[in-house]
Amino acid sequence: MTGQPVHCFPIFALTGIMLLLLGACAEMKPLEYTEIHEIPPGPGLLSGEDGEYVIIE
Amino acid sequence: MMQKHLVLPIFAATAFALGVLATPGSAQTLDELKAQVREMSKRLQELEAKQGQLETLTDQTRIDSRTVISGKQGVKLTVSGQVNRGLLYVNNGDKDDFFHVDNDNSSTRVRFVGTGDLTEDITVGAQIEVQFESNSTAAIRIDQDGSAGPNNFTERKLELYVDSERFGRLWLGQGDTASNGTSEVDLSGTSVIAYSGIGDMAGGIAFSDNNVLGPRIGQVFSNFDGLSRDDRIRYDTPSFSGFKGSVSALEGGAVDVGLRFSGEVAGTKIVAAGAWADASSIDANNFKQYNGSVSVLTPLGISVTGALGSRDQDSGTGDDPFFYYAKLGYTFDAVSFGATSIAIDYEAVDDLAQAGDEAQSYGAFVVQRYDKIGAEFYLGARNHELDRSGSNFDDILAVLVGGKVRF
């Protein structure tokens, strides 16, 4: 792959505008997203349904 | 007490019996009666003792005996973590080997999270998260004799925050910068083994040209994922229609800005992120960069993920480094205990380590979840290519199998 690099900012701006329009025109529901490097919510092997040990409560 | 209402009648009847029968002619019967009364008294005492134990046990079960109780209201401290280990096969065209590795896509770690409610709106939190990667996939060398280091805990997050639903969140300490993760949104379900960060699978392995080692995978591939984790102050806005903005200022003067979106429409999940970062004060190449990613998961289980980024730097190497990434995935319920996800991906990176470099990678992956125990088992293969003027590097093949278990 050679040649002029694609300018990213217009692509991001266009994507952002599309998402705004999509959210405005459609019935957008909130979505809880856990970033891929984070420990996601959910059960654990030893800790059970909560996936964590509660030490102090 | 259970038998209280019976105690008086029992003793009254007993006393009457003793009185009626207390004559010289019935001495033997009197002894028997006395023995019976003693036996009944003993049984009554045992019943009273058991009743007391039952009441005590009921009180104790109202509080989980495994939890330490704080004198303060609305506070909580939790411990969680994960172990992610695998077996990696690598072939660089001249040599090949197997490695027992910690998967750097999602490292072995432990974290402590403490939270406390100040008001109905404001929560204060702190977290310590550290990782321990014995022979990390990102650090191994084809010719190593022992495990690659570091052989100790390394920092991930050492930070505190103040969170308000109305005003957003303020972070302080070592943790995610505003731009971290903005090249890596991924709904394919396969990120435990593959995502836009190509170097996490076998990043320390060097390309070989007739047994002469060249650059490592991690030097020619990058997803320009912002300023990673660092010592910083960061502010996140509240969420507005699924959008959330972030800004951070780092140790050394670097700054970055990020924008994230997550939402669901008609059963289709959409996640996107973009960022701009100025690392000119902390990086030798004085770079600034744009980057972003988007991932869509349809109700049918088909997912499409993309990312790209461009870096403006003063290295004098010619064209600005640039990357783009694409993944096609499919998630389905092959078994009852968790989702199965498969995916193929492709990434191209130009001019990163040296002007004219063209690095490409493609792979195929499968991940099986076991929801009940928080586990993911994975298998994947990735090929890495590097075209560099004046060299003829062989491709590097990496095959990784392993599992991540949350404890």
Q: Is there a contact between B202 and B217 (Cβ–Cβ < 8 Å)?
A: yes
- For chain A, domain boundaries: 1-30
Cβ contact B239–A30 (<8 Å): yes
Pair B139, B56 in one domain: no
Cβ contact A27–B265 (<8 Å): yes
Pair B276, B311 in one domain: yes
CATH number at residue B191: 2.40.160.10
Q: Coil, strand or helix: which one is A56?
A: strand
Domain tally, chain B = 2
Pair B172, B281 in one domain: yes
Q: Measured at the alpha carbon of residue B331, what is the angle toward residues B326 and B332, in degrees to the nearest 5?
A: 160
* B280 Cα to chain A: minimum distance (Å): 19
Pair B40, B80 in one domain: no
3-state secondary structure chain B: CCCHHHHHHHHHHHHHHHHHHCCHHHHHHHHHHHHHHHHHHHHHHHHHHHHHHHHHHHHHCCCCCCCECCCCCCEEEEEEEEEEEEEEEEECCCCEEEEEEECCCCCCEEEEEEEEECCCCEEEEEEEEEECCCCECCCCCCCCCCCCCCCCCEEEEEEEEEEECCCEEEEEEEEECCCCCCCCCCCCCCCCCCCCCCHHHHCCCEEEECCEEEEEHHHHCCCCCCCCEEEEEEEECCCECCEEEEEEEECCCCEEEEEEEEEEECCEEEEEEEEEEECCCCCCCCCEEEEEEEEEECCCCEEEEEEEEEEECCCCCCCCCEEEEEEEEEEEEEECCEEEEEEEEEEEEECCCCCCCEEEEEEEEEEEEEHHHCEEEEEEEEEEEEECCCCCCCCEEEEEEEEEEEC
- Domain end position, chosen among B60, B90, B105: B60
Task: Give the closest of B184, B265, B406 to A51, CB-based.
Answer: B406
Spell out which residues of chain A touch residue B294, defining contact as CB-CB under 8 Å: 15
Cβ contact A4–B78 (<8 Å): no
Query: Residue B32 is part of which domain span?
Result: 4-60
Q: Is B116 inside a domain boundary?
A: yes
Pair B161, B188 in one domain: yes
- Closest by CA to B95, choosing from B203, B200, B208, is B208
Pair B25, B150 in one domain: no
Pair B362, B278 in one domain: yes
* A36 Cα to chain B: minimum distance (Å): 6
Pair B150, B30 in one domain: no
Q: Is B69 inside a domain boundary?
A: no
Pair B51, B92 in one domain: no
One pLDDT digit (tens) per residue for chain B, 407 residues: 445 555 555 555 555 555 544 455 555 689 999 999 999 999 999 998 888 887 766 555 555 555 666 656 778 999 999 999 999 999 999 999 999 999 999 999 999 999 999 999 999 999 999 999 999 999 999 999 889 877 889 999 999 999 999 999 999 999 999 999 999 999 999 999 999 999 999 999 999 999 999 999 999 999 999 999 999 999 999 999 999 999 999 999 999 999 999 999 999 999 999 999 999 888 877 889 999 999 999 999 999 999 999 998 876 556 789 999 999 999 999 999 999 999 999 999 999 999 999 999 999 999 999 999 999 999 999 999 999 999 999 999 999 999 999 98
Q: Measured at the alpha carbon of residue B185, what is the angle toward residues B180 and B190, in degrees to the nearest 5?
A: 120
Pair B157, B243 in one domain: yes
> How many Å apart are CA B319 and CA B5, to the nearest integer?
96
Ramachandran category for residue B337: left, alpha or beta (phi over 0 → left; psi -120 to 50 → alpha)? alpha
Type of residue numbered A21: L
* Separation in Å, CA B223 to CA B179, B202, B307, B325: 12, 15, 8, 8
Pair B19, B156 in one domain: no
* Separation in Å, CA B357 to CA B65, B215, B351: 61, 11, 5
Cβ contact A36–B78 (<8 Å): no
Task: Give the closest of A5, A28, A54 to B242, CB-based.
Answer: A28
Whole-complex ipTM: 0.80
- Domain end position, chosen among B16, B36, B60: B60
Q: Coil, strand or helix: which one is A48?
A: strand
Cβ contact B69–A56 (<8 Å): yes
Pair B24, B131 in one domain: no
Q: Is B99 inside a domain boundary?
A: yes
- Residues forming beta bridges with residue B159, ordered by sequence position: B127, B173
